[in-house]
Amino acid sequence: MMPQASTAAATRPSSAWTGWGQWLALVTMTLDHLARYVFPDAWGLGWVDSSLGRIAFPLFAAMVAWHGLFNTRNPLRYARRVLVIGLIAQLPYMLMPRAADGLILNICFTLSLGLTGAAWARALPERLERNVLGRRRLAIEAGAALAIWAIAGYIVEYGHLGLLMIPFYMLALARLHQGGDGLSERLASTAMALPILVVAGLMNSSDMAKSFTVATTLAILLLAAGAHRLPAEVPLRMPRRLWLGWYPGHFAAIALWLWVSGGLS
């Protein structure tokens, strides 16, 4: 889910942290799914879902937002690549024991739609400035975007709030990276960070889950505010094929295990 192209912006922040983020996201996601689908309740591992498992989604969303904002010329093409992974992963994802949830599209659909919406919103000022977007067309596009968000929120993983993560991340990351030493600039940066923190806090029900999600989100915001200079390059970079194939692959492996062990009817 990483972009291939990169911008030539001289002020682009370091993305070294994403090498660490990839490993952390895959590990916490896998632990979450193992605790949820593989290990029996008698093992008492439900706490993983409410703690370490709540790191993965805000971290995935942050990396997509970061690359979409700083490291790719074409966010929509990047969103399409994420969508392809989601399409491949959907069948094994649907084999998980989640029948009570009905039809739910996996996290890649959430990330792809979120990035698409964020790219549309970020392009609006330039389109308005160039007078290529009239009021009527703006109203139609805004109405369509709102309708897609309202409908898709019922069928994608993490729902309506999940779809807002990337747009609000990009809003905050862009402002925090621009920085500014004046009081007004600092207050503006803080204000732009509030929406993503509010969404992160609303995404889960338990206090523990909220704490892990908000803490992860806050760490990303600190990276955008200047801490991106601190992490060194990860010693072992994740192979691209592993990064692209792990999401559908680990669901397929879990489904196979459940079938062999009788967990799938």
What distance in Å separates the CA atoms of residue 152 and residue 146, rounded to the nearest whole number? 10
What distance in Å separates the CA atoms of residue 230 and residue 228, rounded to the nearest whole number? 6
At 131, give phi and psi (nearest 5°). 60, 35
The answer to whether 163 touches 149, Cβ cutoff 8 Å, is: yes
Q: Where are the domains of the chain?
A: 17-260
Q: Is 196 in a helix, a strand, or coil? A: helix
Tell me the per-residue pLDDT of 66-82, one tens digit each, with 9 for 90 and over: 999 999 999 999 999 99
Percent of the chain predicted with pLDDT > 70:
92
Higher pLDDT, 107 or 262: 107
Task: Name every residue whose Cβ is closer than 8 Å to that of residue 45 and which is 6 or more positions away in sequence.
Answer: 35, 39
As a residue count, the chain comes to 265
Mean pLDDT lowest among 16-25, 30-39, 132-141, 245-254: 132-141
Tell me the per-residue pLDDT of 101-160, one tens digit each, with 9 for 90 and over: 678 999 999 999 999 999 999 998 888 888 777 888 889 999 999 999 999 999 999 999
The answer to whether 242 touches 30, Cβ cutoff 8 Å, is: no
Task: Name every residue whose Cβ is closer than 8 Å to that of residue 186 and which is 6 or more positions away in sequence.
Answer: 180
* 179 has a pLDDT exceeding 90: no
Q: Please provide the distance, in angstroms rounded to a whole number, between the alpha carbons at the two ends of the chain.
A: 32
pTM of the predicted structure, to 2 decimals: 0.91
